Chain A
Amino acid sequence: MRASYEARLQAMEQRLLAAERGSAPAAVAAAPTAAETSAPVAAPAAASPVAAASGGGANAFNPAMSLILAGGYTRTSQDPAGYNITGFQLPTGTSAGPGARGFSLAESELGLAANIDPWLRGVANIALHPDDTVSVEEAFVQTTSLNNGLSLKAGRFLSGVGYLNSQHAHTWDFVDNPLAYQAFLGTQYGDDGVQLRWLAPTDQYIEFGAELGRGRSFPGSDTGRNGAGMSALTLHTGGDVGDSHNWRAGLSLLTAQAADQGLTTTDPSGGNVINSAFTGTTRVWLLDGVWKWAPNGNATRTNFKLQGEYLQSTRSGSLVYDPGNAKLAGDYRSEQSGWYLQGIYQFMPRWHVGLRTERLNPGTTDYAINTVSLTGSGYQPGKNSLMFDFNPSEFSRLRLQLAQDKSREGLTDHQVFLQYQMSLGAHGAHSY
């Protein structure tokens, strides 16, 4: 106590000394400095005129607000209406595939974030879809006051599995998510539940995460029970190699329950749409890695990012195959996998070029009594994409993406995307 008073006295003495020397800024700063010594965490007394202007009255506590505007033009050589991935059963009404042809608006995303009180922070991301519907992409509260590397999240959020899953669409390096995400995670896995993360007290970054959720979306589905329909475990680690390189790698497991989940696939021979319903458990393992390079760690001029993920999905339970109300129920077990590898190079400020290659492996599927109707050909869907983007500023991006999509056996879809993505309002900080 006495020591701290002494420190304060010394500090005041020092300030007086500086003021006597007549340096103008010292005098101006005397007020905030005084605030510092008596109540060190007080806001700076010399508030800028801007803060005063924007902050008057009730609006002063408005959350940080941001809006993403995106849209573009899509050209495909195959009709996107019949999009499917041969040998992979996608959920009915999936958003997989290149989307609509021609000009279209993409998702507009409205983001709100603020501290709730000294212990909690709240975030909401509302997606306004081009078909005039609205969805809640994320709406969660998160602790800011737990110590020892712990943080707890509750609400609706994007799962922390893998690398790409928790990233919002406007931060992706390509127009679309990889095929493996489309086939095994319904493009991107978000759920209602809780997430606990713990950062180990080591110099090496080691983070454990555990999630429990409802399991509301593919590969889960609403099961109408009291327990959790989804659980996830994540482990990520990373670090630096010298000044110029840094990396992160991780292993995650997502387990989800589904009941009467509507699936759509295409008849291997004729291209007819087959509807079926799956009840059972899905396990998705994700192995992810990202490596970044920038000369001396200064990414402003040139930088390179190499990123890859491997996903393996195991589904076991029963499948109801329903041609003309026949309702043929049988045991079902599948083990499928997929991967992508991509590199993004910023060759000069504001310009990027990127290449992505990906492949899916239909693996083994045991349909029991439905074998005859559903067994596929063992075709391995693949896709290659080439991307250029130009960023007039940190807040705007124009992108051209060319892709050769071989998701459908025997058909090669040549795709061209032109896209813009703009960010208005609060300057969002991006995660690694």
Chain B
Amino acid sequence: MMNRKTLLALLFAPLLLAVPAQAALRVFACEPEWGALAQELGGNLVDVSVATSALQDPHQIQAKPSLIARARNADLVVCTGAELELGWLPVLLQQSGNAKVQPGQSGNFAAADFVRKLDVPGQLDRSQGDVHAAGNPHIQTDPRNIAQVATALGARLAQVDAAHASEYAQRLKDFSQRWQQAIVRWTTQAAPLRGAAVVSQHKAFVYLYDWLGMKEVAVLEPKPGVEPTASHLQEVLASLKSVPVRMTLYSAYQDSKPAEWLSRNANVPAVKIPFTVGGTEAAKDLFSLFDDTLARLLAAGVKK
């Protein structure tokens, strides 16, 4: 006859088995670029789980059960911040029952806090569409931003997991050196793009343009976050008659139809930008993300 203790032990055994036995720091990254960065800086000291994929619109994610479970078990949450995850991250954190990762705690890292933000609205009004009070949150399209975030994230990893601080410092140093070299290479490579006039589908590339000196002359979304409409596309088409542009950029997670429509009607190539790690076949990590982004821009933009 089984006594009560045995019964309880049997009931809770699956829970004990399910608790990960590894001692690695559990990092919950909201977007793939921060997952990749945490992996670069943490190596085998971290166990990275990424909440979204490059094919998902990071503004519109649901606080689904699997994400709540992962936020509950995280030691460090690494997100973009600047209100990008406003529609889902607060719910995840509230439901996680995990004090370590609440806003204001060392286990909560917002990348956008560590870079200079562009497109900070002077006036906040929803008549302007889905504007972000803190500025444009798509900071990962400029590798110089990644460098700054890396410095801050490296320090944060060392703080949260102090036992391995020197290893994180070493990895950060190594990454930063390789990254700075890559930036020099990319900047040289991208020289022909300087001054290029382009169209964006969503205001997702301001940091990329700022870095490479490209000029955004039109946006296919009538307001940020509002799907392109036929009438607005006509307006853009009309405006392009006086200002010739080299290409239209859209992110991997977006519908390519508006950009392709413009491509057919104005003979402007539509260029799919991986936008984050995993957005295209070639964008496998942070380095190849920028390699591929530049390859695509150069292929489309340097014909004349």
Q: Which residues of A contact B (CB under 8 A)?
A: 1, 3-4, 6-11, 13-15, 17-18, 21, 23-26, 28-29, 32-33, 36-37, 40-41, 43-44, 46, 48-51, 54, 118, 121, 142, 144-151, 197-207, 236-240, 243, 246-248, 292, 296-301, 349-350, 393-395, 427, 429-432
In the complex, which of the residues B83, B108, B148, B180 contacts A25, with contact meaning CB atoms closer than 8 Å?
B148
Residue of B nearest to A300 (CB): B57
CB atoms of A40 and B159 under 8 A apart: yes
CB atoms of A33 and B116 under 8 A apart: no
Residue of A nearest to B130 (CB): A394
- Residue B197 interfacial (CB < 8 Å): no
CB atoms of B53 and A296 under 8 A apart: yes
| Residue contacts A-B, CB under 8 angstroms, 14 given | A10-B154, A14-B173, A32-B114, A33-B152, A37-B155, A40-B156, A51-B134, A151-B94, A151-B95, A292-B64, A300-B255, A393-B226, A429-B89, A430-B62
CB atoms of B63 and A429 under 8 A apart: yes
Residue of A nearest to B109 (CB): A40
Residue of A nearest to B18 (CB): A202
Interface residues contributed by chain B, number (CB under 8 Å): 83
Chain A nearest CB from B123 CB (Å) reads 9
**Please, what's the 1-or-0 string for B166-194, where 1 marks a CB less than 8 Å from any CB in chain A?**
10111011001000100100000000000
Which of A54, A237, A393 is packed against the most chain B CB atoms within 10 Å? A393
In the complex, which of the residues B147, B158, B170, B225 contacts A393, with contact meaning CB atoms closer than 8 Å?
B225
List 9 other contacts, CB 8 Å, given A3-B158, A46-B116, A349-B227.
A17-B180, A18-B148, A29-B115, A201-B19, A201-B73, A202-B69, A239-B66, A393-B129, A393-B225
**Please, what's the 1-or-0 string for B71-95, where 1 marks a CB less than 8 Å from any CB in chain A?**
0110000000001001111110011
* Majority secondary structure of chain A interface residues (helix, strand, loop or mixed): mixed
Which of B19, B69, B104 is packed against the most chain A CB atoms within 10 Å? B69
Given A37-B155, A237-B65, do A25 and B163 touch, yes or no (CB 8 Å)? no
Residue of B nearest to A145 (CB): B99
Please, which residues of chain B bring their CB within 8 A of the CB of A118? 104
Please, which residues of chain B bring their CB within 8 A of the CB of A28? 116
Residue of A nearest to B90 (CB): A429
Chain A nearest CB from B250 CB (Å) reads 13
Please, which residues of chain A bring their CB within 8 A of the CB of B126? 393, 395
Q: Which residues of B contact A (CB under 8 A)?
A: 15, 18-19, 52-53, 55-57, 60, 62-66, 68-70, 72-73, 83, 86-91, 94-100, 102, 104-106, 108, 113-117, 120-122, 124, 126, 129-130, 133-135, 142, 144-145, 147-148, 151-152, 154-156, 158-159, 162-166, 168-170, 172-173, 176, 180, 183, 225-227, 253, 255
Please, which residues of chain B bring their CB within 8 A of the CB of A36? 114, 152, 155-156
Please, which residues of chain B bring their CB within 8 A of the CB of A292? 62, 64
CB atoms of B88 and A429 under 8 A apart: yes
A146 CA to B18 CA, complexed, in Å: 21
In the complex, which of the residues B53, B57, B115, B156 contacts A243, with contact meaning CB atoms closer than 8 Å?
B53
Chain A nearest CB from B61 CB (Å) reads 8
In the complex, which of the residues B99, B156, B162, B163 contacts A147, with contact meaning CB atoms closer than 8 Å?
B99
Please, which residues of chain A bring their CB within 8 A of the CB of B225? 393-394
CB atoms of A144 and B102 under 8 A apart: yes
Please, which residues of chain A bring their CB within 8 A of the CB of B152? 32-33, 36
CB atoms of A11 and B97 under 8 A apart: no
Residue of A nearest to B122 (CB): A49
Chain A nearest CB from B77 CB (Å) reads 13
In the complex, which of the residues B97, B183, B253 contacts A197, with contact meaning CB atoms closer than 8 Å?
B97
CB atoms of B147 and A18 under 8 A apart: yes
CB atoms of A201 and B72 under 8 A apart: yes
Please, which residues of chain B bring their CB within 8 A of the CB of A147? 97-100
Please, which residues of chain B bring their CB within 8 A of the CB of A203? 18, 66, 69-70, 73
Chain B nearest CB from A365 CB (Å) reads 37
Given A25-B145, A41-B106, A150-B97, do A246 and B66 touch, yes or no (CB 8 Å)? yes
